[in-house]
Structure 1
Amino acid sequence: MARNALKPSQGADEQTSNALFQREDELKAYEQMLLIRRFEERAGQMYGEGLIAGFCHLYIGQEAVVVGMQKAIEKGDQVITAYRDHGHMLALGVDPDVVMAELTGRSTGISHGKGGSMHMFSPELGFYGGHGIVGAQVSIGTGLAFANKYNENDRVCLTYFGDGAANQGQVYESFNMAKIWDLPVVYVIENNRYGMGTSIERASATTNLSQRGASFNIPGEQVDAMDVRAVYEAGKRAVDRARQGGGPYILEMLTYRYRGHSMSDPAKYRSRDEVQKMKTENDPIDRVLGRLLNDWNVSPEDIKEIDKRIKALVMKAVDFSIQSPEPDPSELYTDVYA
């Protein structure tokens, strides 16, 4: 992880975060993050069982990013991301049944079983993908923000990409256009420390990705993205700024993925001790759980009930996906444009 990776976001204030994040907010964040965690763990098991094929990128460890940012936007705002998109779908409120059905390639999936893990869409909820080409979604997200500005619709686009994609040329072309027109876009860099199998220190000449927009006069900040409150606080300021005409902004989310880049990645480029240390000291779900138990006096029994309900939701999604039919062969000829 970049040096000082787990320092609070610049300008963040603990009392402000506390004021903005109350007991019900913590409870909802806990449920959402736990749903993503348990869903992804089960997806990993199903991949090993041969029920999920192709590429599969799990979001385990990064849950606070999407949950905190989703809370910071409004209905009608847009979200676009790369291929690690299951968590984004669940944070948006998409039924876990149809997300798991898409992973298993069933006709009841969110993309009718034709997109799989990397290509999920829900434009009616403002989600414009899941994109498999590294960095491609950054240009599309910038285009969505251009449409918002052109239509004067008061909407903001969250454009997610990773530390690996931060070195792609189209990212900087997008930054340039976004600043020229002061587009309402927040670039969310999910810096999970490793782009595919290479650490950020080996792949990037400068590791403070929040400053990558400096030459375009785009401000940015680093955020402790293992804390959902810090994510929300920074996200709310950035989104409000964009909505009020302040133009593009960069949020570098200092996070960590516990699993390999994808299911085919054994992650031998880092030590077990490193992963275990992050799980023990900085797990985003444990942070919220600690506040619920110690600050908000939520009982262990209530926590167990939440855990039980989330587990049931995930198992229901598994059963639904397995029992759903595969797409009809005629679907090979639908949605083909050339």
Structure 2
Amino acid sequence: MSLDNQQLIEAYRRMSRIRQFEETTKELLLKGELYGAFHTSIGQEASIVGSCMALADDDFMVGTHRSHGHPIGKGADIKKLMAELMGKVDGVNHGKGGSMHLSDFSIGSLGETSIVGSGLPVATGAALGTKLQGGNRVTLCFFGDGASNEGTFHESLNIASIWKLPAVYVCENNGYGEYTAWRKVVASESIAARAAGYAMPGEVVDGQDLLAVYEAVKKAVDRARAGDGPSLVETRTYRFENHAIGPYPEPYRDKAEVDDWRANRDPITLLRKKAAEFGLDPAELDQIDDQIADEVVQAVEFGRQSPEPPLEDAYVHLFTEPVAIRH
């Protein structure tokens, strides 16, 4: 159930793309070229890509407010993502979604929102739609440890289990729900342990290990596609940056803890260290990094060249009959 060499290369490409895209957009935000709240998934690339590599191209995926990595992991065009973050008309949502509200139906990304836990019922509804239509798609839902305490988590898993929906729920447990350590607010020994209450499999995996994530999620995807119902996978991962980028205090975790994860548990570094074992040429991975760097430069230029939305488009895509703008 493991990835072959070409799949591993593609997985590395997507992980590098997430990392370089978000490092660049972080710089643009701090320079004032991007706007609004901005949450990165730097450090969580293996959790994202390992999960997405287990999906078919036409499967559905729902992300979180930490939302750039998920569509990139599913194969999104970073030019259109960059334009979206810049609020331009060539963005995936015509510049109206921004950082926390991205969607890209062309790759099966049904969207993300800033409301914690709100993606769970959306994903469950998509899985129900597939079952009612007699389709073969699986819906994968990303959510964080904080969302596991929301009512939507319990309601969604319960109904998905009752109706044996083709859904896979992936909890990216990065240690903190905003500024609170997860162990302070979760009574069970893991998020995955809660699966037992809904008669579905639950598994905890090392979220920094690409193959461990892929194998666990692939097993869950295959089970869902076979009609055996949903599963819950908890990836133990870590976000290297603060909850959000900007002048926010970070008194809730020790600098030594962050430094240790960066130095010893970076998912991209871990994959590179095993390159020879996996049959990957480090020189080829270097070339991929260089290619991604060029892609990101082109994406930034694409976003800058894209026009601003006209005032007349303010209510387009909001109502079936757009409201006229009075000048």
**8 Å contact from structure 1 (residues 81, 130) kept in 2:** yes
Of 240, 257, 263 in structure 1, the residue corresponding to residue 245 of structure 2 is: 263
> How many angstroms apart in 1 are the aligned matches of 2:20 and 2:225?
34
Retained in 2: the 8 A contact 1:56–1:117? yes
Matched, 1:145 2:145: no
Give the equivalent residue in structure 1 for 2:259.
Answer: 276
Q: CA deviation at 1:326?
A: 1.2
| Structure-2 residue corresponding to 1:90 | 72
Q: CA deviation at 1:299?
A: 4.3
Asked if 1:69 corresponds to 2:48, the answer is no
Alignment of 1:29-44 (within 5 A): 29-44=11-26
Give the percent of matched residue pairs that are identical in Structure 1 and Structure 2.
Answer: 39
Structure 1 counterpart of 2:96, which letter? K
1:1-40 equivalences under 5 Å are: 20-40=2-22
Which position in structure 1 is the counterpart of 2:275?
292
- How do 1:97-136 residues align onto structure 2 when only pairs under 5 Å count? 97-136=79-118
Report the alpha carbon displacement of residue 195 of structure 1 after superposing the two structures with TM.
0.5
Shift of 1:170: 1.6
1:43 is matched by which residue type in structure 2?
T
Equivalent of 1:156, from 127, 138, 141?
A: 138
Q: Distance in 2 between matches of 1:101 and 1:148?
A: 31
Amino acid at match of 2:133: N
Q: 1:233 to 1:297 in 2, by over 3 A?
A: closer
Q: Which runs of 5+ in 2 are unaligned?
A: 321-327
Alignment-mate amino acid for residue 282 of structure 1: R
Could you tell me which runs of 5 or more consecutive residues in structure 1 were left unpaired when the two chains were aligned.
1-15
Whether 1:214 and 2:183 are equivalent positions in the alignment is: no
Superposed CA deviations along residues 308-336 of structure 1, whole A, max 9, x for unmatched, are: 11111111111111222111111112122
Q: 1:117 to 1:143 in 2, by over 3 A?
A: same
Divergent runs of 4+, >4 A: none
CA contact (8 A) 1:23 1:292 kept: no
Once residues 250 and 89 of structure 2 are traced to their aligned partners in structure 1, the CA distance between those partners, rounded to angstroms, is 33
Alignment of 1:183 with 2:162, yes or no, is no
* Change in CA separation of 1:297 and 1:170 when aligned onto 2, cut-off 3 Å: closer
Please tell me whether the aligned partners of residues 33 and 67 of structure 1 are also in contact (alpha carbons under 8 angstroms). Answer: yes
Q: Offset of 1:99 from its aligned partner?
A: 0.5
Residue number among 153, 169, 188 corresponding to 1:171 in the alignment: 153
What is the CA RMSD across the aligned residues, in angstroms? 1.5
Q: 1:52–1:64: structure 2 CA closer, same or farther, 3 Å change rule?
A: same
Measured in 1, the distance between the counterparts of 2:119 and 2:208 equals 24
In 2, the alpha carbon distance for the partners of 1:263 and 1:243 equals 38
Question: Deviations along 1:231-277, whole A, 9 cap, x unmatched?
Answer: 11111100000111111100001110001111144432111111111
- How far residue 105 of structure 1 moved from its aligned partner, in angstroms, is 0.8
1:193 corresponds to: 175
Whether the 8 Å contact between 1:62 and 1:226 is mirrored in structure 2 is yes
